Amino acid sequence: QKEVEQDPGPLSVPEGAIVSLNCTYSNSAFQYFMWYRQYSRKGPELLMYTYSSGNKEDGRFTAQVDKSSKYISLFIRDSQPSDSATYLCAMSKLDDKIIFGKGTRLHILP
């Protein structure tokens, strides 16, 4: 079993819809949970992170972590065509290297 599992998609949704992206993981020692966005031919950029369990909101983006289920989610409200990208979940233990998921390709249809 891979440490981090993420459905590669592609996921296509109409503009304005709520998008839900998810990852599962196996290592209960992970403490930091991150979401990166990667546009085509670019490096990943950090969108947001959470520490341990709980929710975090930043504008149209909400990250959720459920450590009991080893499940993390990213919600995008009022999705825009500019949100079309690959979204990578990532996680790490304290002061350790980051482990990335495969990424989910998201297409927002105008």
Partner 1 sequence: DTGVSQDPRHKITKRGQNVTFRCDPISEHNRLYWYRQTLGQGPEFLTYFQNEAQLEKSRLLSNRFSAERPKGSFSTLEIQRTEQGDSAMYLCASSKTGTTPDTQYFGPGTRLTVL
Binding residues for partner 1, rule: CB under 8 A, are 4, 6, 8, 32, 34, 41-46, 49, 51, 88, 90, 92, 95, 97-103
User: d(Cα 44, Cα 35) in Å, to the nearest integer?
Assistant: 9
User: Which is closer to partner 1, CB of 87 or CB of 108?
Assistant: 87
User: Which is closer to partner 1, CB of 70 or CB of 102?
Assistant: 102
Sheet strands (E) in the chain = 4-5, 11-14, 19-25, 32-38, 45-51, 54-58, 61-66, 71-76, 85-92, 99-100, 104-109
User: d(Cα 30, Cα 90) in Å, to the nearest integer?
Assistant: 10
Minimum distance of partner 1 from residue 16's CB (angstroms): 28
Minimum distance of partner 1 from residue 42's CB (angstroms): 6
Minimum distance of partner 1 from residue 110's CB (angstroms): 25
10: preceding bond cis by omega (within 30 degrees): yes
The secondary structure of residue 82, as a DSSP letter, is: G
Minimum distance of partner 1 from residue 78's CB (angstroms): 26
User: Which is closer to partner 1, CB of 70 or CB of 105?
Assistant: 105
User: Which is closer to partner 1, CB of 5 or CB of 13?
Assistant: 5
